[in-house]
Protein backbone atom coordinates (compact mmCIF):
# COMPACT_ATOMS: atom_id res chain seq x y z
CA UNK A 1 0.00 0.00 0.00
CA UNK A 2 1.41 3.44 -0.93
CA UNK A 3 1.58 5.98 1.85
CA UNK A 4 -0.79 8.33 0.03
CA UNK A 5 -3.61 5.94 0.99
CA UNK A 6 -2.83 6.44 4.69
CA UNK A 7 -3.07 10.23 4.71
CA UNK A 8 -5.42 11.49 7.41
CA UNK A 9 -7.51 14.65 7.42
CA UNK A 10 -7.24 15.09 11.18
CA UNK A 11 -3.74 16.61 11.24
CA UNK A 12 -4.12 20.18 9.95
CA UNK A 13 -0.74 21.78 9.12
CA UNK A 14 0.45 24.90 10.84
CA UNK A 15 1.19 28.16 9.04
CA UNK A 16 3.98 30.54 9.92
CA UNK A 17 1.25 32.98 10.97
CA UNK A 18 0.02 30.57 13.69
CA UNK A 19 1.26 31.08 17.22
CA UNK A 20 3.09 28.64 19.45
CA UNK A 21 0.03 28.49 21.70
CA UNK A 22 -2.10 27.40 18.74
CA UNK A 23 0.46 24.72 17.86
CA UNK A 24 0.46 23.31 21.38
CA UNK A 25 -3.35 23.27 21.51
CA UNK A 26 -3.52 21.35 18.24
CA UNK A 27 -0.86 18.90 19.40
CA UNK A 28 -2.80 18.26 22.58
CA UNK A 29 -6.03 17.69 20.66
CA UNK A 30 -4.35 15.26 18.24
CA UNK A 31 -2.15 13.62 20.89
CA UNK A 32 0.96 14.18 18.79
CA UNK A 33 4.33 15.76 19.55
CA UNK A 34 4.96 17.11 16.06
CA UNK A 35 3.13 19.18 13.48
CA UNK A 36 4.13 20.23 9.96
CA UNK A 37 4.53 23.88 9.05
CA UNK A 38 3.30 24.59 5.52
CA UNK A 39 3.05 27.80 3.53
CA UNK A 40 0.74 27.36 0.56
CA UNK A 41 1.83 23.86 -0.51
CA UNK A 42 5.46 24.29 0.53
CA UNK A 43 6.48 22.00 3.38
CA UNK A 44 8.88 23.93 5.59
CA UNK A 45 9.49 21.27 8.22
CA UNK A 46 8.24 19.68 11.43
CA UNK A 47 8.07 21.51 14.72
CA UNK A 48 8.01 19.56 17.98
CA UNK A 49 6.45 20.40 21.30
CA UNK A 50 9.98 20.62 22.74
CA UNK A 51 10.86 23.30 20.17
CA UNK A 52 7.76 25.27 21.12
CA UNK A 53 8.45 25.12 24.85
CA UNK A 54 11.84 26.72 24.13
CA UNK A 55 10.26 29.78 22.48
CA UNK A 56 10.32 32.94 24.59
CA UNK A 57 7.22 34.55 23.10
CA UNK A 58 4.53 31.86 22.72
CA UNK A 59 1.90 34.37 21.58
CA UNK A 60 4.02 35.54 18.65
CA UNK A 61 3.55 33.99 15.17
CA UNK A 62 5.87 31.07 14.52
CA UNK A 63 7.33 32.96 11.56
CA UNK A 64 8.69 35.59 13.93
CA UNK A 65 10.93 33.02 15.61
CA UNK A 66 14.18 31.52 14.41
CA UNK A 67 13.15 27.89 14.09
CA UNK A 68 15.38 24.85 13.61
CA UNK A 69 12.94 22.61 11.77
CA UNK A 70 13.60 19.01 10.80
CA UNK A 71 12.35 17.90 7.38
CA UNK A 72 11.53 14.19 7.44
CA UNK A 73 8.97 13.22 4.82
CA UNK A 74 7.87 10.47 2.47
CA UNK A 75 6.99 10.63 -1.18
CA UNK A 76 3.37 9.75 -1.92
CA UNK A 77 4.26 6.52 -3.75
CA UNK A 78 6.52 5.01 -1.08
CA UNK A 79 5.42 1.86 0.76
CA UNK A 80 3.89 2.16 4.20
CA UNK A 81 6.76 0.04 5.58
CA UNK A 82 8.91 3.10 4.86
CA UNK A 83 6.58 5.08 7.13
CA UNK A 84 7.03 2.60 9.96
CA UNK A 85 10.82 2.72 9.60
CA UNK A 86 10.94 6.52 9.50
CA UNK A 87 8.69 6.90 12.54
CA UNK A 88 10.78 4.38 14.48
CA UNK A 89 14.16 5.76 13.42
CA UNK A 90 13.35 9.40 14.15
CA UNK A 91 10.82 8.84 16.95
CA UNK A 92 8.09 10.80 15.20
CA UNK A 93 4.38 10.96 15.92
CA UNK A 94 3.43 11.77 12.34
CA UNK A 95 5.04 11.97 8.89
CA UNK A 96 4.39 14.49 6.11
CA UNK A 97 3.73 13.16 2.60
CA UNK A 98 4.80 15.05 -0.53
CA UNK A 99 3.95 14.64 -4.21
CA UNK A 100 6.35 14.42 -7.16
CA UNK A 101 6.61 18.23 -7.19
CA UNK A 102 7.45 18.28 -3.47
CA UNK A 103 4.05 19.77 -2.64
CA UNK A 104 2.60 18.93 0.76
CA UNK A 105 -0.27 16.42 0.51
CA UNK A 106 -0.96 15.61 4.15
CA UNK A 107 0.26 13.53 7.08
CA UNK A 108 0.33 9.93 8.21
CA UNK A 109 -0.31 9.49 11.93
CA UNK A 110 0.44 6.65 14.31
CA UNK A 111 -3.27 5.84 14.31
CA UNK A 112 -3.43 5.22 10.57
CA UNK A 113 -0.29 3.08 10.75
CA UNK A 114 -1.66 1.07 13.68
CA UNK A 115 -4.90 0.41 11.82
CA UNK A 116 -2.98 -0.82 8.79
CA UNK A 117 -0.72 -3.06 10.87
CA UNK A 118 -3.76 -4.58 12.54
CA UNK A 119 -5.10 -5.62 9.14
CA UNK A 120 -1.78 -6.99 7.94
CA UNK A 121 -1.22 -9.07 11.08
CA UNK A 122 -4.84 -10.32 11.02
CA UNK A 123 -5.46 -9.22 14.60
CA UNK A 124 -9.21 -9.33 14.03
CA UNK A 125 -9.18 -12.87 12.61
CA UNK A 126 -9.55 -15.98 14.81
CA UNK A 127 -6.68 -18.44 14.70
CA UNK A 128 -3.58 -19.80 16.35
CA UNK A 129 -0.07 -18.41 16.73
CA UNK A 130 3.05 -20.52 16.23
CA UNK A 131 6.62 -19.34 16.85
CA UNK A 132 9.43 -21.44 15.44
CA UNK A 133 13.21 -21.02 15.56
CA UNK A 134 15.26 -21.63 12.43
CA UNK A 135 18.80 -21.15 11.17
CA UNK A 136 18.78 -18.29 8.70
CA UNK A 137 20.34 -20.46 5.98
CA UNK A 138 17.56 -23.03 6.45
CA UNK A 139 14.67 -20.58 6.39
CA UNK A 140 12.10 -21.33 3.70
CA UNK A 141 8.67 -19.70 3.87
CA UNK A 142 7.47 -22.01 1.09
CA UNK A 143 8.32 -25.06 3.20
CA UNK A 144 6.67 -23.58 6.28
CA UNK A 145 3.58 -22.81 4.19
CA UNK A 146 3.58 -26.34 2.81
CA UNK A 147 3.64 -27.80 6.33
CA UNK A 148 0.77 -25.55 7.42
CA UNK A 149 -1.30 -26.27 4.30
CA UNK A 150 -0.70 -30.02 4.62
CA UNK A 151 -2.82 -29.75 7.77
CA UNK A 152 -5.69 -28.06 5.92
CA UNK A 153 -4.76 -24.61 7.24
CA UNK A 154 -3.60 -21.30 5.82
CA UNK A 155 -1.08 -18.70 6.99
CA UNK A 156 -2.89 -15.43 7.68
CA UNK A 157 0.24 -13.43 8.49
CA UNK A 158 3.91 -13.93 9.34
CA UNK A 159 6.96 -12.00 10.41
CA UNK A 160 10.59 -12.66 11.27
CA UNK A 161 12.48 -11.59 14.39
CA UNK A 162 16.26 -11.53 14.04
CA UNK A 163 18.79 -11.43 16.86
CA UNK A 164 22.09 -9.60 17.03
CA UNK A 165 25.17 -11.81 16.69
CA UNK A 166 23.05 -14.89 16.02
CA UNK A 167 22.62 -17.13 13.00
CA UNK A 168 19.08 -17.96 14.08
CA UNK A 169 15.83 -16.08 14.06
CA UNK A 170 12.25 -16.64 15.02
CA UNK A 171 9.41 -16.97 12.57
CA UNK A 172 5.98 -16.07 13.95
CA UNK A 173 2.99 -17.20 11.94
CA UNK A 174 -0.72 -16.82 12.49
CA UNK A 175 -2.87 -19.55 10.97
CA UNK A 176 -6.61 -19.79 10.46
CA UNK A 177 -6.95 -22.74 12.84
CA UNK A 178 -7.51 -22.43 16.56
CA UNK A 179 -6.36 -25.98 17.22
CA UNK A 180 -2.75 -25.96 16.01
CA UNK A 181 -1.69 -29.29 17.53
CA UNK A 182 -1.64 -31.18 14.16
CA UNK A 183 0.53 -28.43 12.68
CA UNK A 184 2.89 -28.60 15.66
CA UNK A 185 3.28 -32.35 15.23
CA UNK A 186 4.24 -31.86 11.60
CA UNK A 187 6.76 -29.15 12.48
CA UNK A 188 8.31 -31.46 15.06
CA UNK A 189 8.45 -34.26 12.52
CA UNK A 190 10.47 -32.00 10.23
CA UNK A 191 12.81 -31.08 13.13
CA UNK A 192 11.60 -27.50 13.53
CA UNK A 193 12.03 -26.03 17.00
CA UNK A 194 8.70 -24.64 18.22
CA UNK A 195 9.40 -22.03 20.90
CA UNK A 196 5.86 -20.87 21.63
CA UNK A 197 2.23 -21.44 20.67
CA UNK A 198 -0.98 -19.58 21.38
CA UNK A 199 -4.03 -21.52 20.29
CA UNK A 200 -6.89 -20.46 22.53
CA UNK A 201 -9.02 -17.90 20.72
CA UNK A 202 -10.63 -16.82 23.97
CA UNK A 203 -7.18 -16.26 25.44
CA UNK A 204 -4.53 -14.95 23.06
CA UNK A 205 -6.72 -13.43 20.35
CA UNK A 206 -8.95 -11.70 22.87
CA UNK A 207 -5.87 -10.33 24.61
CA UNK A 208 -4.43 -9.01 21.34
CA UNK A 209 -7.78 -7.53 20.32
CA UNK A 210 -8.16 -5.86 23.70
CA UNK A 211 -4.67 -4.34 23.50
CA UNK A 212 -5.38 -3.14 19.98
CA UNK A 213 -8.62 -1.50 21.13
CA UNK A 214 -6.78 0.16 24.01
CA UNK A 215 -4.19 1.51 21.58
CA UNK A 216 -6.90 2.84 19.28
CA UNK A 217 -8.69 4.47 22.22
CA UNK A 218 -5.44 6.11 23.32
CA UNK A 219 -4.63 7.42 19.84
CA UNK A 220 -8.19 8.69 19.39
CA UNK A 221 -8.38 10.31 22.82
Domain boundaries, the chain: 3-116, 121-215
Sheet holding 104-109, edge to edge: 74-75, 94-98, 104-109
User: What's residue 8's pLDDT?
Assistant: 83
Task: Report the pLDDT value the prediction gives residue 99, as an integer from 0 to 100.
Answer: 93
Q: Is-contact 8 105, C-beta < 8 A?
A: no
Q: What is the pLDDT of residue 205?
A: 54
**CATH architecture assigned to 121-215:** 2-Layer Sandwich (3.30)
Q: Which pLDDT tens digit goes with each residue over 43-92?
A: 999 999 988 888 888 888 888 888 878 899 999 999 988 998 998 899 99
Confidence at residue 78, expressed as pLDDT on a 0 to 100 scale: 94
Residues comprising the chain, all counted: 221
The CA distance from 203 to 218, in Å, is 23
CA 197 to chain centre: 24
Distance CA 210, CA 122 (A): 14
Residue 150's contacts (CB-CB under 8 Å, 6 or more residues apart) are: 186
The pLDDT assigned to 206 comes to 60
Residue spans of the chain under pLDDT 70: 200-221
**3-116 and 121-215: identical CATH topology:** no
Give the pLDDT confidence score for residue 98 in this predicted structure. 96
Quick one: pLDDT at residue 1?
77
Architecture of domain 3-116: Roll (3.10)
pTM: 0.70
Amino acid sequence: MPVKDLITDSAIPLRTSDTAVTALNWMEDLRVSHLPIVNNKNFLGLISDTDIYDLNEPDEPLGNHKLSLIRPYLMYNQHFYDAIKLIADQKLTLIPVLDEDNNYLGCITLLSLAEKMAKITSVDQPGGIIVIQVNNIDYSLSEISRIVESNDAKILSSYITSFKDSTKFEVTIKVNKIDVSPILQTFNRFDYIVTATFSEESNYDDMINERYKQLMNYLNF
